[in-house]
Structure formats: C-alpha cells, structure tokens
Structure 1
Amino acid sequence: MIPLLSVIVPVHNVEPYLTECLKSLAAQTMEDFEVIMVDDGSVDGSRRLADDFVARDSRFTLVEQQNLGPGPARNEGIGRARGTYLAFADSDDVVPPHAYEVLIAKLGETGSDLACGAVRRMVDGVLEESILHERVFRRPVLCTHITDKKVLIRDRTVWNKVYRADFWRRHGLRFPAGIYEDVPVAMQAHVLATSVDMVDDVVYHWRRRDEGETSITQRRSQLPNLHERLTAIRSVRAFLEDGAPELLPEFDALVLEKDIVFLFQALEAAREAGHDLVPLLGLADAWLDELSPRALATAPSLRRLELHLTRRGLIDQLRAVRDFRRSRLDGTRVRPRGFRTVNWYGDYPFFRQRRRLGIPDDVYDARDELKLIARVDDCAWTGTEYRVRGEVSFHRVDRKVGKVSVWLSDGRRRVPLEVRRAGRYGVSVGIDPRVLEGGGPAWRLMVKAETRGLVLKGWFRDGDAHGAWRFSLQGWSRSGMDMPQ
C-alpha cells in the first residue's frame, strides 16, 4: 500500500537521541506514512536502536550506506520514498504529534507545493524560541510565495516542512555533499514553488545537543565549518542571482545578521588561544567580498563597526566591541553630535578614538536606525470625549522628546488635537466624536515628534500588541478588539 507521506531520517552517531526522535514520529496523529531511516555509517548504537523500531513498526525501514554526510543520506532516502508528500527529520530532533497532520491538511486545502511551520529550540529539555526562525511564523498565510512574503528568506531549514513529492522530483532537487546542505535546497524550493503555505503551529523541535557528539551547528565557529557555510552562502546567492535577484538584499542582510556572528566568534576564540589569525582573516575577506556593497553599507551601525574592525584585522578592538554588545542587553544608545549640523551616532566603543584608529564617522552613523515609539496606555469615555493617555519616545534615544503633534487621519482628512505633556514621555489628548462626522469609517491616531534635528512620524499602537489605534463614531478599537463608548 502506498503511504501518503514519506519521512526521511538521516542517522549518524545519535544514540542518545534517536529513540526520542523515532517515538515522536511513531506518535504522529496522521498514521498513513513511512519512515525511511538512512544509517550514514554510524559507529555507535544508533543502528541497533533503528533496527528495534523496524522490528516493531512496519512503517519504519532502515537503509545503510558508508559515511557520506547528511545530504547524500537524504538523497538516498528520497530515491526510496513512495509517498505523495515528503518530509525530513533530523535524528536528534523531535516532531510534535500534530505536525504532519496540520501541514498536509493545508496542502490538501490549497494545492500549494510546500507547507512550513514554526520551530522551537530544545535546550536542556526546555523549549525556547528558535532565533533562526524568529519573526517568520507569527501568523498563518496561505498560498503565498517568498517573493511576496520576503520574511521567508529566514526559513532556511528543510525539516519544518512538508513538500509535494512530485514538485520535488519535477525540479530535480538534490542535497549537496558537505554540511549546511539544507540551506541551498530550502531556498531553491521556496523560489521554485508556485505557492507556499505558512502555519503558525509549532511543527518541529530542534535540539541543541547536551551529550554525545556535538551537532554540525554546534561546531559552526570551527574553520572547516566556516568554509562550508561560505560555500552554502555562495550557492544560494548564485541561485538567487539567476532566479530571484530581488531577494538578494534580504539574503545578504540575513547573512550579516546571523551567519557573520560565527566568524566573529571564531576570530575571538583564535585570538584568545593565541592561534594564527591569517587563515581566518583571509576567510573573513572572502565572506565580505561575497556580499553586496549595499548590504555592507546599510547594515546596522554596530554591525558596521564590527565589520570594519574585522576587515582591518583589528581583532582586539573587535573583541571589545563584541563584549560591549553582549553586555548591553537593553540595547545601545544613540546620541546627537554637532551644533550647526546635528547627526546621530551610536554610543559605541572607540567613538572618541575613531580618528586615531582611522574609523570613518559614517561607520557610527545611526540616524536611519532611529524609530518613533508611540504607545497608548489607556483610553476612556468621559461622557463628552475619548481621553487617551500614552507615551511618545525615540527608540535608543535617552532624552526628553521635544515638540509632539498629534492628529486624527482617515486617509483624506486631518484633525489636529491638543496635546498635554506629562514628564519626559507622557502625552494625553481628548477626542470629541463629533469631529469625526462626515469622515471615513475609521480614523488612525497619528503623531509627529521632534528633537535636536530629528523629526519622525508614526501612529499610536497598543501597549501590549502591534495594532494601530482607530476611532469612529461608535467607539475605538485596538488589535482587532472593538470597545464602544
């Protein structure tokens, strides 16, 4: 009987974790599947544990091969897969019980080529947010595409997904040898898909190993791993240049946000151990040469400082900046400099020594990173008007806001409001509903704040969520909740 789903599991020296992984697959709420385990030359007890599952569950099969790596192991499993759908699971991870049922149900509903979902990181038995997938799966979106939903550029793993097998084979998708083999394939699938379904359900638990062999991702600051990561980056960039060049800025920005950190860690560790830095600095140049000049120039200012110091081989200074970043959990401050012409610079190490060190001013320039924060804390009907209280401030700027203007806008009309100030950031306004007559069905509460050569505009958001506040003759709403007067 042909199964609905084929799950491919590469296995290599994962004895402490394999049983938990296989049990999670056996416990899936949808039962019509096969699990194809590919033993990639294990030398511990993994083969014995896999054999035990084969003996007691006919849905599990085991294939053996010499140690070729996870990519060839997955390819071997795909060649034997019979299912309508394909999924991948790493043998040290855990798949939540409803994962495949949820993903396949969406594909059956929409006809999309792949469905993907949220991930949690397993750290010492506790589930945490996967930093790799942050901001991706906040809400479900069906029948979308990476060129429309560019946040999917952050979704670079294959195991939080279900693919249509005919889609996979039609495009001849194959995993390369080496490590980080899933990144190029995940990106290719996203671009080649006609449409993609995103669910906000957690469909995968990605483990950080605490015993046995460390995983590939836990050895990511070692020199061979860094070379392999650069190979994967080059592969993805070459594919995007041909197939989806509009995604290159987002991909380069992601490399500078996430991947480059492992290069910094390697440089810090090498300096600490007294190792030769020449090979690492040469690799660092290769990494930075691969990325677009625009991506390097528009990176956040603190990252630009780290990149500048790396490019020049100033590793002691790089370590100081990295220590500064790690110590500032509340974020770094931005301060104004200048009298006639005011600019805003990151208050980072070596700013006052920048000319002696030959660091250009624009490395510290943080004006484009400043954001207006406008939050509503309370809204009440007094019997004659809405009385709104909130706060207005600049993100990362520790100073009193200067002038504040508040108005209502329905997209066509603008109604100015009188602002009362309270303390450094507090504001309050009164809204007479009669001023809304003859206007649109919903009015957005807008704000402009000014201080020291800085002017930013935005709208008030809810104190606990991300939705804008809107007003009408019938009442007000926030984050989708209606609250009539």
Structure 2
Amino acid sequence: MIPLLSVVVPVYNVEPYITECLKSLAAQTLDDIEVVLVDDGSSDGSRRIAEDFAAMDGRFVLVGQRNMGPGPARNLGIRQARGMYLAFADSDDVVPPEAYRLLVGALAETGSDLACGAVGRLVDGVLEDSILHEKAFRRPQLCTHITDKQVLIRDRTVWNKVYRRDFWERCGLAFSAGIYEDVPVAMQAHVLATSVDMIGDVVYHWRKRDVGEASITQRRAELSNLYERLAAIRAVRAFLDERAPELLDGFDALVLEKDIVFLFQALEECEGSGPLLELAHVWLAELSPKSLATAPSLRRLELHLLRHGMVSELCEVREFRRTREDGTRVVPRGWRNTNWYGDYPFFRKRRRLRIPDEVFDARDELKLIARVEECDWTGAEYRLSGEVAIHRVDRKVDKVNLWLSDGRRRVPLEVRRTGRYGMAAAIDPERLEGGGPSWRLQVRAEARGLVLKAWARDGEANSAWRFTVPGWSRSGMDMPQ
C-alpha cells in the first residue's frame, strides 16, 4: 500500500543521536508514513541502529551507498520514496509528534505545493528559538508565496517542510553534492511553488551537537566550509536573478546578517590569513552595492574594516559586539545639520583611520519606544502614564505629542513630562463621544532634528495598547461610577 508521506533521512556517523531521531519519527501522530533511511557509508554504529528500527517497524526502510554526502543521500532516498508527500529529516535532529499531521493537514486543506513551520534549536537538551527562523513564522499564513511574504527568504532549510511529491518532480528539484545542498533547493521550492502554507507551530527541533563529530553547521568557520557556503550563495543568487530578482536584496541582506559572521569568526581564529582575506573580497563582490550600503551601521563598520584588510581592528569590533551589543549608543553630532552616529570603536579615531562618516551613520536605525504603564479613572477623566524614549539614544526626548486614534478620528492629548523618560496625559471621555469604541495611542517625538512616530505599547503585555471606553454605545457613554 502506498504511504501518504515519505520521510527521507540521510545517516552518517550520528550514533549518539540517531535513536532519538528515529523514535520521534515512529511516534508521529500521522502514522501513514514511510521512513527511508539512507546510510551514507557510516563508520560508527549508526547503520546497526537503523537496521534495528527497520526490523522492528515495517514503515522504516534502509538503503545504503558509499560516503557521498547528504545531498546524494537525499536524492537516493527520494528515488526510493513512494509517498504522495515528501519530507526530510536529519538523523541528529528531532521531529515533534504533531509536526507531519499539521503540515500534511495544511496541504490537504489548501492544495498548496509545500507547507513549512517554525523551528526550535535543541541546545544541551533545552529547546530554544532558532535565530535563523525566528522572524519567519511570527505571522503564519496559508496560501501565500515568498514574493508576497518576503520574510520567507529566512526559511532556507528543507527539513521543516512537507512537499507535494508531484510538485517536487514537476520542478525537477534535486540536491547537489555540496555540504550546503539544502539552501538552493529550499529557495527554488519557495519560488517555484504556486502557493505555500506557513504554520506557526514548531515542527522541527534542530540540534546543536554536544558529543561525537561536529555537524556541518558547527564547522562553518573552516576555510573549505566557507568556500562551500559561497558556492551555495552563488547558486541561490543566480537562480533568483533569473526567476525572482525582486528577492535578491532581501537574500543579500540575510547573507550580511547571518552568513558573513562565519567569515568574521574564521578571521578572528587565524588572525587574518591571506586566503581568507581573498575569500572575503570574493564574498563582498558577490553582493549588491545596495545591500552593502544599507546594512546596519555596526555591520557596515565591520565590512569596511574587512574590505581594507584591517583585521586587528575588525577583531576589536567583534569583541565589542559580543560584550556590548545591548549597550551600544547612538550619539548626535552637529548643530545646524544634526546627524546620528553609532558610538562604536574607532568612531573618535575615524579621521585618522580614514573611515568615512557614513560608515557610522545610524539615523535610519533609530526607533521610538513608547509604553503605557497605567491608565486609571479619577471620577472625571482617565489618567495615563508611561515612558517614551529613543532606542539606543541616551538622552531625553526634546518634544512629545500624543493622539488617540480610532482609525477615523484623531484626538490630541496634552502631554506632561515626568522625569527623564516619563510622560502623562489626561483623557476626557466626552471628547471621544461618537467615535471608537477602541482607540490607540500614537506618539510623535522630536530630538535634535530627528522626528519619529510610533503606536504606544502596553507596558505589561508588551503588545499594542488599546483604550476602550466602558459603556460605549453609538448613542452615548456611561462613565464608571
């Protein structure tokens, strides 16, 4: 009988972890599955464990090949697979029990070509957020596409997904022999799909190994590994340039946010070898000038130092980032034409080191933080209090304006400042009559030529703050007694 879902699992020297992985697959609440295990020439006890599972559970099938890498192993598994749907799991990871039921269920409901879900990072037995995926699944949506939901650029792994088998074959998807074989395939699938289902549930536990051989991702600062990563980046960029050029800037920005960190780490470890610096220049040449120019200011400083071979200075900035990331400040300079700069290492030495001012320019990174801490009824009016500040700017905001808005009307409030960051205002309910019932608080702040706006957030719930007048009706309002 043909299974509903085939899960392909490449296996190579994962003896400490494979049992937990296979148990998680056997425990799936979607039981109409087959698990195709592909032994990629393991030299430890991994194959024996896989054989035992195949002997105990008829849904598990074991095939083997000489060591060729995870890409060819997955391709062999796909050829063996019989299911209507296709999924992948790495043999050192864990799949939550409901994962495939949720993903297959979404595809059965919508008819989309692939479904994807959130990822947890398994570190020393504790499940954390995956920093690679954390922004991708905050707002799940069915029947979408990467060109509409460009945050899916961050979703470049193959194992947090289920694919329709006919879609996979129709598009001719296949893995290369490189060690980052999944990144080009994940991006190709997203672009070539007619529609994609995103679910917010965590459907995969991605392990950081603590014993045995280091994983590919844990050896990512090795020179050969960096060359392989560059090859994957080139493959994705070439595909996007042809099929979805509107995604190139977003992909380049992700490379500058995530991938280039491993190049920095390698330079720190070897104090800047010639081959590494040559590779660094090749990396930078691959990326668009726009992505390089619009990177955050601290990253632009790192890139400038890298481009000019200033490795010791780069190492100092990297140490600053590790120890001061939450404490970095943005400072104003100039009186008639004020600009705002990151107060990073070498900022005060930039003239001597010939670092252009625009490298430190942080104006576009500033954001307004406004929180409502309390809102109380006095018998005649509501009195709210809270805080307003500019993120990373250690100075009082010069001027603050407040408005209540229901989407149609804006009602200005008189603001009273309290302390360095405090604000207070009174709300007369009669001024809101005929509107609402729900109002949001908009904040406008000025500081040395800088103007920022934001909606106030609830200081306790850390969500959007809304003011709802009790007893509201279209004919009038009843005040609290």
Unaligned regions of 5+ residues in structure 1, if any? Answer: 477-483
Contact 1:147/1:191 (<8 A) preserved? yes
- Matching residue of 1:428: 424
Select which of 361, 369, 372 maps to 1:373: 369
Amino acid paired to 2:44: D
**2:441 matched to 1:445?**
yes
Q: From the superposition, tell whether residues 250 and 425 of structure 1 become closer, same or farther in structure 2 (CA, over 3 Å).
A: same
Q: Any idea what SS the aligned residue of 1:199 has?
A: strand
2:475 alignment counterpart: none
CA contact (8 A) 1:444 1:470 kept: yes
TM-score, length of structure 1 as denominator length = 0.95
> 1:417 aligned to 2:429?
no
**Contact 1:408-1:446 at 8 Å conserved across structures:** yes
For 1:197, give the aligned amino acid: D
Letter of the 2:259 partner, please give it.
Answer: D
Range moving further from structure 2, 58-67 or 445-454 = 445-454
* Separation in 2, partners of 1:234, 1:21: 32
Q: Which amino acid aligns with 1:266?
A: A
Q: Would the alpha carbon gap of residues 233 and 214 (structure 1) be closer, same or farther in structure 2, given more than 3 Å must change?
A: same
Q: Does 1:301 align with 2:297?
A: yes
Q: How does 1:249-288 map to 2 (within 5 A)?
A: 249-271=249-271, 277-288=273-284
Letter in 2 for 1:293: P
The Cα of 1:311 is off from its aligned counterpart by 0.5
Give the corresponding residue for 1:200: 200
TM (norm. structure 2) is: 0.96
8 Å Cα contact 1:344/1:365 also seen in 2 = yes
Distance 1:224-1:132 versus aligned 2 partners, 3 A rule: same
Contact 1:443/1:471 (<8 A) preserved: yes
Corresponding residue to 1:460 among 456, 460, 466: 456
| SS of corresponding position for 2:337 | coil
Shift of 1:339: 2.4
Cα separation, 1, equivalents of 2:379 and 2:460: 26
Shift of 1:382: 2.6
Partner of 1:73: 73
Partner of 2:26: 26
Partner residue in 2 for 1:89: 89
Corresponding residue of 2:397: 401
| Counterpart in the other structure of 1:315 | 311
Q: What per-residue deviation string (whole Å, max 9, x for no partner) do you get for residues 227-283 of structure 1?
A: 010111111111111111111111111100000000000011111xxxx61111111
- Residue 440 of structure 1, CA deviation: 5.4
Instruction: State the SS of the aligned residue for 1:447.
Output: strand
Which residue of the partner structure matches residue 125 of structure 2? 125
Poorly superposed stretches of 4+, deviation over 4 Å: 472-476
Structure 1 window deviating more from structure 2 (169-178 vs 450-459): it is: 450-459
Q: Offset of 1:114 from its aligned partner?
A: 1.1
The one-letter code sitting in structure 2 at the alignment partner of 1:118 is: A
2-side partners of 1:430 and 1:57: how far apart? 68
3-state SS of 2:120 partner = strand
Identical amino acids, percent of aligned pairs = 75
Tell me the amino acid that sits aligned with residue 267 of structure 2.
Answer: L
Deviations 1:387-442 (A, max 9, x none): 22111000000111111111123444332111111111111111122212334554
| Deviation at residue 329 of structure 1 after TM alignment | 4.0
Task: Give runs of aligned pairs for residues 178-189 of structure 1, distance below 5 A.
Answer: 178-189=178-189
2:379 alignment partner in structure 1? 383
Structure 1 counterpart of 2:476? none
Contact 1:436–1:472 (Cα < 8 Å) also in 2: no
Q: Is the Cα–Cα contact under 8 Å of residues 9 and 74 in structure 1 kept in the other structure?
A: yes
Q: CA RMSD in A?
A: 1.6
TM-superposed deviation, 1:471 = 3.6
Q: Which amino acid in structure 2 is aligned with residue 229 of structure 1?
A: R
CA shift at 1:443, angstroms? Answer: 3.2
Given residue 57 of structure 2, which amino acid in structure 1 is its aligned partner?
D
Residue 353 (structure 1) aligned to one of 349, 361, 370: 349
Distance 1:463 1:179 in 2: 45
| Runs (5+) with no aligned partner, structure 2 | 473-478
Q: Distance in 2 between matches of 1:79 and 1:211?
A: 32
In the other structure, the counterpart of 2:102 is 102
Task: Pick which of 467-476 and 42-51 moved more.
Answer: 467-476
- Aligned pairs for 1:227-266 (under 5 A) are 227-266=227-266
Measure, in 2, the Cα distance between the counterparts of 1:465 and 1:210: 36
Deviation at 1:474, TM superposition (A): 4.2
Q: 1:464 to 1:141 in 2, by over 3 A?
A: farther
Deviation at 1:472, TM superposition (A): 4.8
Shift of 1:384: 2.6
In structure 2, distance between residues paired with 1:145 and 1:385: 48
Amino acid at match of 1:134: E
- For 1:65 and 1:443, how far apart are their aligned partners in 2? 64
Q: How many residues end up aligned between the 2 structures?
A: 474
| 8 Å CA contact retained: 1:33, 1:83 | yes
Counterpart-to-counterpart distance in 1, 2:3 and 2:387:
57
